[in-house]
Structure 1
Amino acid sequence: MSYRVCLVCMGNICRSPMAEVVLRKALADRGLADRVVVESAGTGGWHEGDPMDERALRILSDHGYDGSMHRARQFTKDWFDRHDLVLAMDLDNLANLRRIAPAGVEVRLFRSFDPAAPANAEVPDPYYGGREGFEEVLALVESAAEGVAKHVADEID
């Protein structure tokens, strides 16, 4: 049986797929790749089926990650039934997820697992900016991914 994690942003073409790729590697580095499924989705569906934003893909590639297989999907209420941990990239998406979450389901911010991050820290949306915004997103998700991987390891051991 696998533990399942879903990372959620707005359109599922920048932040959450970058975090998905980074978290997968962090879990693989801990020897958990065969025990944990990592997925991502967006609260909006306008990019469904699209590949990752080219700028996000380029930043990942420049840092040794491969995001080429990603296709955007939309998070729907039934996804809560098949995921053990749902993490939002920002407060708006956190609120959207909490509105549709069944009673008793906890949804958290992705950066809440980064001990250096302040309370309610978000992964900012780089979509309307340049390369530096995507570099910032990668640095933030790399910092938080280690904490998420540790949490997941503790949950499944």
Structure 2
Amino acid sequence: MSFIGLNLTNNYSLYAVPAAWIIAFAPHFYAVTVFNSERAPGTPEWDNREPHSNLAKLKEAKLSPNAHGIYTRAEAAQQNGFQNLPLFAAAVLAGNFARLSPSTLNTTAALYLVSRIIYNVVYITNTTKSTANVRSVVFVSGVITLMSLFVKAGNKLF
């Protein structure tokens, strides 16, 4: 059996945890790019030596309303990704501890990663209430995917 060219008899699920970290961190790079490319002339660029001080520079940078929205949504998407990372890691570990099939672990991990990519894109580009609702549906779908691993692990261990 294969999924996106991967042999599902091999367990790749633990590799999905660092992949989820990268997916969670990616919106920050986009936010910094927007900040640096859209800031007002003569205002300081993003300074990675003191990243927390850059929030004060946000007002000074005088980003357009659109760029400001993209920046803040990208940073919020990153924060949400890191908030959900422990739940994902725990679900993958629970599934591995219960010795769920590699097919189940790989497919569930892949579905979660895809949901996080979609979530990031929808969150960053969102400008309407209906798109915000789509973002929420994608978020809940990803969480349900994780919860299914806990339930399957619990059922196997019970």
- TM-score w.r.t. structure 1 length? 0.30
Greater helix fraction, Structure 1 or Structure 2 = 2
Who wins on radius of gyration, i.e. which is larger? 2
